[in-house]
Amino acid sequence: MKHYILILLVAVVLLPSCMNEPATEPDTPEGNFQALWKIIDTRYCYLDYKHINWDSIYTVYHQQLPSVTTEVSFFDLMGKMLSELKDGHVNLYSDFDESRYWKWFQDYPSNFNSSLLDSARYLGKNYRIAGGLHYNKIDNGRIGYIYYGSFSDAFSDVNVANIMNSFSSCHALIIDVRNNGGGSLNYSEQLASYFFKEKTVTGYIRHKTGNGHSDFSSPVEIVTPTNKNIQWQRPVAILTNRMSFSATNDFVNRMKQAPNAIIVGDRTGGGGGLPLSSELPNGWLVRFSSSPMYDKSMENTEFGINPTIQVALSAADQAKGIDTIIERAIVALK
């Protein structure tokens, strides 16, 4: 029996009983190819949305199967087939490699230079760290600045309360999630909760209900709660770039609904599908997007979220030690 594993959780996801497990295939190149193709055909959630002809892709790659002579070349063929999905949440895992699709950020300007943050103008060398959140005051102490590099790094209400207290004299806040590739949706929800006065519907999710490419449940609300003990009610800017992906994409989507928030920088990298994993007959794991997530207007977030203020990192500014995106956020917050 195939094993399905939830990678990230928004809520309890129920897989309806009308969904059938793909038939067990033999542990042969042909059997593993068929198993992988069927998993994507019946479980992947964006085939119709992305206008992908999965039957045609089957033909193209299946005819190459007889030429595969080694385990590595077979892995590469399967990984190349998965890359046709153009999805950063799709990976094939073996004992010797991990296939990946990275063009979702490699084909775009980075709009981030971590060395700029080390200057005294921004974080500097003596910034503080609380639960993965790096923070300091900038703009002569008028604005609090937080850099959060991964939603896999845990933080607590106590961490955030101490940060907010240290910024009590600041009139605004910047949260920089550029190059944050995601992690736990629980931390995305928790971080957003400090900026909402009341519980708010900030998006939707749908789940597969059958093997058809468009067999989905009705939209289920994604609710951002409010933290009753910790609230930042002053202006806040969220800084984004193409590498703001997955759980970071979810955080940005939530913060677009926060009453005092603006998004500054580049379009996020997307990754709006809730990932699921399945095992092939040979023990390799395939991860894929299983449940599409939407913004409050029921627009798909798979291809990213536009900022409130679009701005790129200038080469001329970088040469002067200036981060264009941070500076633009400072102006907007003033």
Q: Roughly what angle, to the nearest 10 degrees, separates helices 185-193 and 247-255?
A: 20
DSSP, collapsed to helix, strand or coil, labels residue 175 as: strand
The pLDDT, as a whole number, for residue 21 is 55
The pLDDT, as a whole number, for residue 22 is 56
> If you compute the radius of gyration of the chain from its CA atoms, what whole number of angstroms results?
22
CATH 3.90.226.10 residue window(s) in the chain: 114-195+231-269+304-333
Per-residue pLDDT reduced to its tens digit, 86-121: 999 999 999 999 999 999 999 999 999 999 999 999
DSSP class of residue 239 equals E
Per-residue pLDDT reduced to its tens digit, 206-232: 999 999 999 999 999 999 999 999 999
Q: Looking at the predicted structure, is the pLDDT value of residue 5 above 60?
A: no
Q: Roughly what angle, to the nearest 10 degrees, separates helices 71-83 and 54-62?
A: 160
pTM for this model (two decimals) = 0.92
The pLDDT, as a whole number, for residue 23 is 65
Determine the length of the chain.
334
CATH 3.30.750.44 residue window(s) in the chain: 5-106
CA distance 237 to 230: 18
CATH of domain 5-106: 3.30.750.44
DSSP, collapsed to helix, strand or coil, labels residue 39 as: helix
Mean pLDDT of 21-46: 92
Per CATH, which fold does 114-195+231-269+304-333 belong to? 2-enoyl-CoA Hydratase; Chain A, domain 1 (3.90.226)
The mean predicted confidence, pLDDT, of the chain is 94
